Amino acid sequence: MDPVHSPSSIDKTRVMDVKPLRSLKPIFPYPNQGLILVQAPPSGPFPSGYTPFYPFVSPPPPPQPPVAPTPLRTPESSGVINGDVKPPVDASGGSERRKRGRPPKSSQKTNVVEKRSWRSEASIPINHNFVVPVSLAQQEDGNREVVDLIMTGYDGLRRRLCQLDDTGAISRGLAKRADLKASNMMMTTGFRTNIKRRIGAIPGVEVGDIFFFRIELCVLGIHAPSMAGIDYMNLRGESEEDFVALSIVSSGYYDDDDEDENVLIYSGQGGGPTVMDKQASDQKLVRGNLALQRSVHRGNEVRVVRGIKDGINLNTKVYMYDGLYTVQDSWMQKGKSDTNIFKYKLVRVPGQPSVYGIWKSVEKWKEGVSSPAGLVLPDLTSGTEGIPVTLVNDVDNEKGPSYFTYFPSLRYFEPYMQSSHTCKCQNSCNPGDPNCSCNQTNKGDFPYTGNSILVSRKPMLYECGPSCQCYPGCKNRVSQTGLKLRLEVFKTKDRGWGLRSWDHIRAGTFICEYAGEVIDKASLKQKLQEGGGNEYIFDTSRVLEPFRWNELGLLLKGISDDPSQDEVYNIPSPLVISAKSFGNVARFMNHCCYPNVFWQPVMYEDNNQSYLHIAFFAMRHIPPLTELTYDYGVVSNDDDINNNFRKRKCFCGSSQCRGFFGL
């Protein structure tokens, strides 16, 4: 089933090239809404007279299409919106190249316009009913929730574009540079924040936040240039220049000295090793170099982003926001090719949390050069997992959690349900293979990207299982291949033991499954009545606050006919797991009302029987040593078990805290 090519789906959403969004204004459900400038968190409360945007409150009335759409669908016309010349839309979904529909050359003003409207050679399906949930005020100045929403939305959209490309749902290669496609759609629809250029901290961005693409810094207003290393402004009144440096990115392209966690020797731009400047020349005191020079005397705060080689995926880079620095000194020195290079000494403003320092410490722990403070056990799994799980307590004298047997998977005493679809793929299942039955059960959308990142939540995720004929290395076996991250069980200050990771974690990364013994409701009731047995229980019948992880999946035409159901779990019968006596690291993950991890039901088959598993994935990018938490949910009222046993006061401390959670 291919939603892009299905004629019946076309009247719901229109198909258009992604590029024309460039000309669209931000989309608001009510005509004057975007003009009201208010400062309010996305969940409210809102000032009177201001109607917040869906999805933070109840949905608006059915929104009107934001632009007159009909010309876009006419194959013969060139499709004109807002005066801009657009390529016509390929209603067949983009499989056909747009040669015949190319606008006449005379209508092109310049070569650049020609190039732009012509560049994308196929179509990405856009849902025009999507309402951008970021107010104009929030586009100007962010806060933590807006930043999280945009970050999560950005990466979800990017993953979905990768998935469409992998599965062949859109023309091959259309989603290359999915990072830029996603950012382009967000920048043009107003799904961005901190547009206002500013000196110093960015509202909603915290020291230690991590990113995986330079363009993310742009979408969040941390660092405006898409490539350049120095962001600066000219504060001039009339004609005289008054430069000030705003932020810099140090990612190893030039010969910076980044050994010290509080001092960074940064190189100026130009002249040297860039591809564009083939012949080396002296750097000039212009643009970013001039701005940094001026900031030496001005003494203003400059944001610093450190680009670090990703130790997990060696061909990617992690960008870490390292907080505020001041430029204390500058000089000129000879570079490798004997040309003049500017150098700037940036010193970290005191009182900010150590993050780059932590990063470097963790690397030493992993190399075995040093150990974390309060190390109790180097591996609490005693080799059961393929990778050690460290036990650390630098809070008090407790020597470890109460006794349990480390068990890495789920212990079923009877099959979860009958089933009989297994794949017959050779080697590995292919995202674009319509004959793979595991692909079919996932409705044609391969659940993971090429580097094993979950694309979106699903009512049920089907992985290949022991009965499938593909190899164990098949890309559709992510949650069953054990721990990949370097995890640590540690003593928290006020919530017992917790779980965190030495490695940074990218959004959508599999963390662990909930291991333990599958029990029935009667056993659970008995355990509760015995008292004290209500810890280390995972119960799918606890009620979760609905949330959208892949918010911007809605911007693209949905996987199902009703995208609002995409992320609602469909669990045939409740699953209760006890990790009291047998369990893995998941039993240590604490509850939080504003969590960074979620669970996803995963089913796979063995010998004509299906087994349900609970897999945990990162909701956001998670910096090293950040506690991993998920929402335990609350016990439903119709549960026949005494609710009081199953309610516990919450200490998560987040602004969204409900005050209690379920057990």
Partner DNA sequence: GTGGCTTCAACCTC
Partner DNA sequence: CGAGGTTGAAGCCA
Say whether residue 429 binds DNA (CB under 7 A): no
For DNA, the closer of residues 155 and 627 by Cβ is 155
CB 571 within 8 A of CB 540: yes
Minimal distance, residue 260 CB to DNA, in Å = 15
Q: Which residue has the tokens 């083939």?
A: 278
Q: Which of 39, 234, 328, 370 binds DNA (CB under 7 A)?
A: 234
CB 621 within 8 A of CB 505: yes
Give the tokens for residue 273.
């090793």
Say whether residue 308 binds DNA (CB under 7 A): no
Say whether residue 253 binds DNA (CB under 7 A): yes
Minimal distance, residue 103 CB to DNA, in Å = 15
Q: What are the angstrom distances between the C-alpha of 384 and each of 368, 479, 486?
A: 20, 16, 14
Binding mask 568-597 for DNA (x = CB under 7 A): ------------------------------
| Amino acid residing at 581 | S
Minimal distance, residue 236 CB to DNA, in Å = 8
Minimal distance, residue 169 CB to DNA, in Å = 17
Give the tokens for residue 244.
């000030």
For DNA, the closer of residues 173 and 546 by Cβ is 173
CB 552 within 8 A of CB 157: yes
Among the listed ranges 58-66, 106-114, 372-380, 466-474, the one in contact with DNA (CB under 7 A) is: 106-114
Q: How far is 377 from 371, CA to CA, in rounded Å? A: 11
CB 480 within 8 A of CB 474: no
Minimal distance, residue 160 CB to DNA, in Å = 14
Say whether residue 176 binds DNA (CB under 7 A): yes
Minimal distance, residue 181 CB to DNA, in Å = 7
Say whether residue 611 binds DNA (CB under 7 A): no
The Cβ of residue 434 has, within 10 Å, a number of other Cβ atoms equal to 12
Interface size with DNA, residues (CB under 7 A): 55
DSSP code, position 344: E
Q: Apex CA 466: angle with CA 460 and CA 469, to 5°?
A: 100
Q: Which of 101, 225, 459, 574 binds DNA (CB under 7 A)?
A: 225
CB 162 within 8 A of CB 450: yes
Minimal distance, residue 422 CB to DNA, in Å = 31
Q: Which of 125, 208, 288, 595 binds DNA (CB under 7 A)?
A: 288
Say whether residue 224 binds DNA (CB under 7 A): yes
Say whether residue 70 binds DNA (CB under 7 A): no
CB 503 within 8 A of CB 486: yes
Minimal distance, residue 543 CB to DNA, in Å = 38
Among the listed ranges 52-60, 269-277, 464-472, 555-563, the one in contact with DNA (CB under 7 A) is: 269-277
Instruction: Collapse the DSSP code of 517 into the 3-class scheme (helix H, G, I; strand E, B; otherwise coil) and give the result.
Output: strand
Q: What are the angstrom distances between the C-alpha of 251 and each of 164, 248, 525?
A: 30, 10, 55
CB 545 within 8 A of CB 631: yes
379-386, long-range: CB < 8 A, 24+ apart: 380/406, 380/489, 381/406, 381/408, 381/584, 382/406, 384/408, 385/482, 385/483, 385/584, 386/482, 386/483
Q: Which of 133, 307, 447, 465 binds DNA (CB under 7 A)?
A: 307
Residue 307 β-bridge partners: 319
Q: Which of 40, 201, 228, 280 binds DNA (CB under 7 A)?
A: 228
Say whether residue 233 binds DNA (CB under 7 A): yes
Q: How far is 195 from 205, CA to CA, in rounded Å? A: 13
Q: Apex CA 531: angle with CA 527 and CA 535, to 5°?
A: 70
Q: Which of 197, 309, 336, 364 binds DNA (CB under 7 A)?
A: 197
Among the listed ranges 245-253, 367-375, 402-410, 591-599, the one in contact with DNA (CB under 7 A) is: 245-253
Q: Which helix (H) or strand (E) holds 125?
A: strand 124-125
Say whether residue 230 binds DNA (CB under 7 A): yes
Say whether residue 637 binds DNA (CB under 7 A): no
Say whether residue 256 binds DNA (CB under 7 A): yes
Say whether residue 296 binds DNA (CB under 7 A): no
CB 74 within 8 A of CB 88: yes
Say whether residue 552 binds DNA (CB under 7 A): no
Say whether residue 658 binds DNA (CB under 7 A): no
Among the listed ranges 179-187, 507-515, 604-612, 648-656, the one in contact with DNA (CB under 7 A) is: 179-187
Say whether residue 184 binds DNA (CB under 7 A): yes
Q: Which of 5, 73, 102, 177 binds DNA (CB under 7 A)?
A: 177
Q: What are the angstrom distances between the C-alpha of 345 and each of 133, 232, 262, 292, 494?
A: 41, 17, 10, 10, 41
For DNA, the closer of residues 102 and 525 by Cβ is 102
Q: Which positions from 312 through 371 interact with DNA, judged by CB under 7 A?
A: 314-317
Say whether residue 172 binds DNA (CB under 7 A): no
For DNA, the closer of residues 52 and 203 by Cβ is 203
For DNA, the closer of residues 37 and 227 by Cβ is 227
Say whether residue 266 binds DNA (CB under 7 A): yes
Minimal distance, residue 14 CB to DNA, in Å = 21
* Torsion angles phi and psi, residue 614, rounded to 5: -110, 115
Question: Nearest CA to 55 among 144, 130, 152, 136?
Answer: 130
Say whether residue 232 binds DNA (CB under 7 A): yes
Say whether residue 250 binds DNA (CB under 7 A): yes
Burial of 276 (0-12, 13-18, 19+ CB in 10 A): exposed
Minimal distance, residue 297 CB to DNA, in Å = 18
| Amino acid residing at 221 | G
- Asked if omega into 41 is within 30° of 0 (cis), the reply is no
Q: Which of 36, 40, 67, 187 binds DNA (CB under 7 A)?
A: 187
Q: Which of 110, 405, 418, 644 binds DNA (CB under 7 A)?
A: 110
Q: Which positions from 113 through 142 interact with DNA, judged by CB under 7 A?
A: 113, 119
Most distant pair of Cα atoms in the chain: their distance: 83
CB 155 within 8 A of CB 145: no
CB 140 within 8 A of CB 154: no
For DNA, the closer of residues 580 and 621 by Cβ is 621
Residue 648 β-bridge partners: 661
Residues at the site binding DNA, with contacts judged by CB under 7 A = 109-110, 112-113, 119, 176-181, 183-184, 187, 197, 212-215, 218, 224-230, 232-234, 241, 243, 248-254, 256, 266-267, 269-270, 274-277, 287-288, 307, 314-317
